Amino acid sequence: MKDIVIKTHKLTKKFGDFVATNEVTFEVERGEIFGFLGANGAGKTTAMKMLSGLLRPSYGEAMVAGFDVYKETEKIKRNIGYMSQKFSLYEDLTVEENIRFYGGIYGLSNRQIKEKSTALLERLNLMRDAKTLVASLPLGWKQKLSFSIAIQHEPTIVFLDEPTGGVDPVTRRQFWDMIYEAAASGITVFVTTHYMDEAEYCNRVSIMVDGVIEALDSPAGLKTRFNAHDMDEVFHQLARGAKRGE
Amino acid sequence: MNAIEIQNIVKTYEKGSVQALNEVSFQVRPGELFGLIGPDGAGKTSLFRILTTVLLADSGKASVDGLDVVKDYKAIRQRVGYMPGRFSLYQDLSVEENLNFFASIFKTTVAENYDLIKDIYVQLEPFKKRKAGALSGGMKQKLALCCALVHKPSVLFLDEPTTGVDPVSRKEFWGMLKNLKAQGISILVSTPYMDEASLCDRIALIQDGQILSIDTPEGVIADYERPLWSVQGPNMYQLLLDLRDFRFTERCYAFGESHHLTLSDDTQAGEAEVRAFLEERNHQETQIALITPTIEDCFMALMRD
């Protein structure tokens, strides 16, 4: 039987007359790397906010990690991780302090935090930098640390909002190695990106245009359907017609 | 006379402990569309700020339009357009007000140079009464470009104009740059997206404050020292791990739907050896082909040297 960790049905958010996310219906399986693509302003951020329990939908249904997005938002927040390029770590806290702070936020005990942070620092080879301020780490390291912190409480799902924007090409690939590893350990990865090569690394990809999911399939399936040679072409075919130029 | 002339520019922060630019030198020719390609933290913004006279270098010389960035800063400011990476227009002024404001600062009018911004401005016109802060990302970007052009600059500086912008809008933006170039404006543009490099006349690849290479995009690609193979198969992740484990592999990176493989210098091994190895590791139906490198391949090869 399929193990579904995100299930939505006609999930919708309106701001006044503006329908940001319009009757979106999809499912994501456990351990899947799910690419959530769309043009700027297509409604991705709004959808992600609803799925992470931060924004109440106008109507429609959604279950995330087995919890209802209307009634169980606090439980959702405990069972997901979140990271974005815009908001990740506290620059004026040290590496260690950030790990401890987020561990606390995600509800880990002091003992768990201690164990986890040692393991995390070792895995990232950051032992010597434990007392370094995050502000002085290179961007690539920040992103890797931020991702590790977002999954230190072993969430069911981790939401990654443009995690690799501006990162150098080697680090960008190392970051995807970490995504693969997390997915292999059973964490579902829900990721947005503007790099179309990264869309190819996802098990399935959805492409939103003007608030609606226009296509959802494996990268191979999408390329066949749109008779395209890569995901960039698929994206262009779908998003070219977008009316909302956010 | 070159549009931009940069000689051995050095910039450090935090009393010299952070080196932002390390002996950077290059020239941008008149009418050229020149791309500064590199990740965040490479030093791109520091260089833009030095060239637009809002930051002083520690050492080295630079001139824009034949004018020295230190001595002639006032004259430079009259004739360059600068679109910073962060949206820097007045959020509480309308589209129209922002444009008029920048025109009046440069003692000109929107009407006077309307030709230059017309193609871009017509897309903004329906929203001309809207406050800049309430515009969508794509529209903000177009308005910022109009404001940087309103005084008909001879050199245009665009610091990461497409960062965080979706692929369709990025393509559209590069189309606008091509039109501006056709009107004789010299453009220095920075971007972290390597695929945009091919749209420039010449590029400089920059990493950690150091220039890795300066050439035409074709020239950078021609300099890739060894054959590059694309490898595809049904189980891509395992394929990547195994290819990295191959004793003749110099480097192997995931590149969307295929992996890009470079074999080490001292080997005669080729496709047959790769194929034999992959069969040994139980990879079926693998496709291997010799390909032309992308700028990103070149960038990664140069980063490692």
Tens of pLDDT, residues B184-232:
999 999 999 999 999 999 999 999 999 999 999 999 999 998 999 999 9
Identify the pLDDT of residue A87.
Answer: 65
Q: Per-residue pLDDT tens for B34-64?
A: 999 999 889 999 999 999 999 999 999 999 9
Cβ distance A240 to B168 less than 8 Å, yes or no, reads yes
Q: Residues 6 or more apart from A75 whose CB is under 8 A from it?
A: A65, A67
User: In a mutagenesis test of the B interface, which of A33, A36, A40 is the best target, namely the one with the most B β-carbons within 10 Å?
Assistant: A40
pLDDT in the model for residue A222: 97
Q: Which among B163, B169, B256 has CB closest to A39?
A: B169
Q: pLDDT confidence of B305, banded at 50, 70, 90? A: low
CB contact under 8 A, A176 and B303: no
The mean pLDDT of A62-91, rounded to a whole number, is 92
ipTM: 0.83
Average of pLDDT values for A89-106? 94
Residue A224's H or E segment, with its range, is helix A219-225
Asked if pLDDT for residue A245 goes beyond 60, the answer is no
In A25-64, the residues whose Cβ lies within 8 Å of chain B are 38-41
Chain A contact set for B255 (CB, 8 A): 197
Say yes or no: A236 contacts chain B, CB-CB below 8 A: yes
pLDDT over 50 at A18, yes or no: yes
A88, A233, A63: which is closest to A150 by C-alpha?
Answer: A88
A134 touches chain B (CB under 8 A): no
B86, pLDDT greater than 70:
yes
Whether B166 has its CB under 8 Å from any CB of chain A: the answer is yes
Beta-carbon separation of B137 and A40 below 8 A? yes
- Interface probe with A: pick from B166, B196, B241, most Cβ of A within 10 Å: B166
* Residues of B whose CB is below 8 A from A140: 39
Give the number of A-B residue pairs with CB atoms closer than 8 Å.
Answer: 96
For residue A242, pLDDT beyond 80: no
Is A89 touching B (CB cutoff 8 A)?
Answer: no
CB contact under 8 A, B163 and A198: no
On whether any CB of chain B is under 8 Å from the CB of A207, the answer is no
pLDDT at A228 over 70: yes
Average model confidence (pLDDT) across chain A: 92
What's at B289, amino acid-wise?
A
Average pLDDT over residues A2-12: 96
Model confidence at A226, pLDDT cuts 50, 70, 90, reads very high
**Has residue A85 got a pLDDT over 80?**
no
Residue B161 burial by Cβ neighbours in a 10 Å radius (0-12, 13-18, 19+): buried
User: Residue A246: its pLDDT value, please?
Assistant: 46
Is any Cβ of chain B less than 8 angstroms from the Cβ of A214? no
| SS3 state at A38 | strand
User: pLDDT (tens digit, 9 = 90+) per residue, B112-159?
Assistant: 999 999 989 998 999 999 999 988 777 888 999 999 999 999 999 999
Per-residue model confidence as pLDDT tens digits over B230-249: 999 988 889 999 999 999 99
Residues 6+ apart with CB under 8 A from A203: A32, A33, A34, A218
Average pLDDT over residues A1-15: 94
- Computed over every residue of chain B, the mean pLDDT equals 94
Cα-based angle A91, A92, A96 (whole degrees, multiple of 5): 85
The string over A44-77, giving b where at least 16 C-beta atoms fall within 10 Å of a residue's C-beta and e elsewhere, is bbbbbbbbbbebebeebebbbbebebeebbeebb
Take residue B186 and report the two structure tokens written for it: 């010299």
Residues 235 through 254 of chain B touching chain A, CB cutoff 8 Å? 236-237, 253-254
Mean pLDDT of A151-156: 95
CA distance B169 to chain A (A): 8
- CA-nearest of B293, B286, B171 to B236 is B286
